[in-house]
């Protein structure tokens, strides 16, 4: 049976890729053929040879057990770091839902545990007519919510979970990600979220000073089901 999960977050730059890499690694350790899939990305880094790469794609590929090319992991990419639907409009490069589904289908032929990382938050537009959540609904994907523990996250987390439920989708759980090293209210944030969020807490990611040297064995996270 193929397992597919869509990873969304309470905002942009809140650690979706890092959390995804942790989940991919843990699923690989359990024997799954894992693959990270980022259908749409924006923001690329220029190499010395003049070519470009997306850091998120690099991390997903590194932590997947299935060998995939960059285009398979990330079929639609933009160099600038800006909302995808705006870049799509300005560059006349359409983001079509059927194209995202086509590449997802190809990955399911090679993997049996797939983590699909969104862009930004739940309602990130892909065009002037539809959002990322519309595609998730069409694919009937289970959702994992990443909550960055910071001021405002409680409201954002509650709203996001309600939005997921409103689409008649399953939220398989949420993960608390500590993005600030000295937040003395972290435990209070998490306890409040436990009182309001109906989905199970899958784990807590501690503040990571160097994401390139993650000790996966020390991070206690349950895999979504």
Burial of 53 (0-12, 13-18, 19+ CB in 10 A): middle
User: Does the annotation count 212 as an active-site position?
Assistant: no
Secondary structure (DSSP) of 5-50: EEEEESSSSSSHHHHHHHHHHHHHHTT--EEEE-SEEE--EE-TTS
How far is residue 225 CA from its own chain's centroid? 16
Q: Are 175 and 14 in contact (CB under 8 A)?
A: no
Angle between helices 97-108 and 132-139 (to 10 degrees): 50
Which residue positions form the known binding site for substrate? 42
Angstrom CA distances, 50 to 40, 47, 136, 143, 194, stand at 22, 5, 35, 37, 47
* Helix, strand, coil percentages for the chain (3-state, nearest 5): 40, 25, 40
Beta-strand runs (E) in the chain: 3-9, 34-37, 40-42, 45-46, 52-53, 76-78, 113-121, 142-148, 171-177, 201-205
- Enter the tokens of residue 172: 């398989």
Residue tagged active-site, from 4, 25, 26, 38: 38
Which residue positions form the known binding site for ATP? 13-18, 56, 117-120, 177-178, 206-208
Q: Supply the residues annotated as catalytic.
A: 38
């Amino acid at each position: 049976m193929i397992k597919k999960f869509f990873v969304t977050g309470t905002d942009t730059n809140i650690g979706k890729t890092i959390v995804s890499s942790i989940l991919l690694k843990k699923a690989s350790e359990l024997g799954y053929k894992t693959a990270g899939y980022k259908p749409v990305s924006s923001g690329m880094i220029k190499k010395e040879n003049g070519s470009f790469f997306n850091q998120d794609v690099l991390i997903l590929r590194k932590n997947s057990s299935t060998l995939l090319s960059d285009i398979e992991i990330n079929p639609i990419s933009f160099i600038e770091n800006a909302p995808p639907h705006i870049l799509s409009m300005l560059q006349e490069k359409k983001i079509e839902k059927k194209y995202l589904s086509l590449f997802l289908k190809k990955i399911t032929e090679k993997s049996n545990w797939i983590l699909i990382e969104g862009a930004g938050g739940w309602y990130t537009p892909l065009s002037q007519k539809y959002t990322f959540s519309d595609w998730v609904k069409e694919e009937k994907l289970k959702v994992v919510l990443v909550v960055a523990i910071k001021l405002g996250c409680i409201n954002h987390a509650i709203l996001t979970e309600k939005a997921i439920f409103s689409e008649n989708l399953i939220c398989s759980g949420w993960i608390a990600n500590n993005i600030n090293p000295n937040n003395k209210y972290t435990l209070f944030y998490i306890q409040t979220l436990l009182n309001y969020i109906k989905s199970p807490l899958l784990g807590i990611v501690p503040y990571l000073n160097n994401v390139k040297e993650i000790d996966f064995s020390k991070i206690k996270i349950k895999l979504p089901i």
